[in-house]
Chain A
């Protein structure tokens, strides 16, 4: 059993050392780590700059690895075109994992501002998928 994060990082570093992987990024709820190869050693890479907390938009993110779909596979039109007004929790896209389709939902009431990933592109965990402008009024 691992009993601390540093043990886990050491274990991951050992595993990586035996491969030809140059860089490993892990992201989970509230946590992320990036390990990369420098010469013969595996080191923890510095954190990426945090996204601007003052940004006027928010994003629907991928809750899983999958293929991001703007449209349902049976349909020709997007689930939520740019400019569509949506409510918090409303489906704005889909993530396909094999035969399974998972919802990508809006985190807020607002307007769909932009699709941040192409239809059919692969998304990683936490990838920003749909940019939204939150409603200014509270409802």
Chain B
């Protein structure tokens, strides 16, 4: 078990998401940086989709009520276990009673905004509709369907890995699979159904200008600020299904990127869709930072997913090799 010591709100239990429930009007939820979650689980010998604690507000503190191996992935938050520094993207053994403190995200060579506290065995809350992710809008899943509060305790599942096989790490994919334009983090976008309904100048601006992530950005969606996007003629649409990654343009012309807690339908015109392989990059982009969009196509989007898959497979292979070597000594 771990106990939440921080009063800071907005930390939630997340796994890789609740897929297949859109037909009942249930959005996907899940980690804003699924790659960090999967990598943390790989470090600990968990299934890639084991549930973890997503932390977007710092400092954040937890106490281990039992011995447990853990890894903090995502943003480098200068973690400390009692007084000992803990490296980012590193699996470490905690003993019962120890306190883990996550500090502010560090600049360093890459700045993220969310950290994942992954535990050997995973956070063992009840799965709902096949997922342990917190569904904030529906108030179910995760821990009591809500963000974590001070004093909450989370049960830990049974670990499959050998308990002593800790003390190694992974090079974060932000460094191994970098994507930038003019020094800004970038994400690839597929033009969507209403793309051609926007003026040529607006389409050009969308690809060539930086977009600021405003303070009105959260797990539901990122509201961006930039040169307003102008439709050639007024667009009136009925509500239709949408998924995380869809970029909607409300009448003001400032786009909204739907994120993990997006509702399953919407009525604004769709300019494009951030490809699934790049959603984690956006999920880690801090509020106030700027991002760039890169036009892509279906084949390249599928290839990007395959590249992400290869990175995870290789990480798993190297970690398993490390475990088997240590076990043999």
Contacts and interface: CB of A to CB of B under 8 A. Distances in A.
A101 B110 CA distance: 17
Contact of B314 (A75, A99, A101, A102): A99
Interface stretch (A50-58, A90-98, A113-121): A90-98
A26 interface: no
A74 B171 CA distance: 8
Contact of B89 (A74, A76, A91, A97): A74
Nearest to B315: A99
A100 B322 contact: yes
Interface in B57-108: 76, 87-90, 106-108
B237 interface: no
Contacts of A102: 168, 322
A72 interface: yes
Interface string B272-292: 000000000000000000000
A75 B108 contact: yes
Interface string A93-133: 01011111111000000000000000000000000000000
A106 to B, nearest CB: 14
B305 interface: no
A39 interface: no
Interface residues of A, number: 16
B167 interface: yes
A18 interface: no
A73 B175 contact: yes
Interface string A69-87: 0001111100100000000
Contact of A74 (B88, B315, B319): B88
Contacts of A97: 318
Nearest to B88: A74
B88 A101 contact: no
Given A91-B87, A99-B314, A103-B167, A73 B172 contact: yes
A43 B175 CA distance: 45
B39 to A, nearest CB: 9
Contacts of B172: 73-74
Contacts of A72: 87-88
B45 to A, nearest CB: 14
A39 to B, nearest CB: 39
B170 A74 contact: no
A74 B76 contact: yes
B169 interface: yes
B233 interface: no
Contacts of B108: 74-76
B311 interface: yes
A76 B108 CA distance: 5
Interface in B150-183: 167-172, 175-176
B90 A98 contact: no
Nearest to A77: B108
A100 B318 contact: yes
Contacts of A94: 169
A97 to B, nearest CB: 7
A91 B84 CA distance: 11
B176 A99 contact: yes
A100 B109 contact: no
Interface string B310-329: 01001100110010000000
A95 B89 CA distance: 14
A101 B176 contact: no
Given A99-B176, A99-B311, 15 more contacts: A72-B87, A72-B88, A73-B172, A74-B106, A74-B110, A75-B76, A75-B108, A94-B169, A98-B314, A99-B315, A100-B170, A100-B171, A100-B322, A102-B322, A103-B168
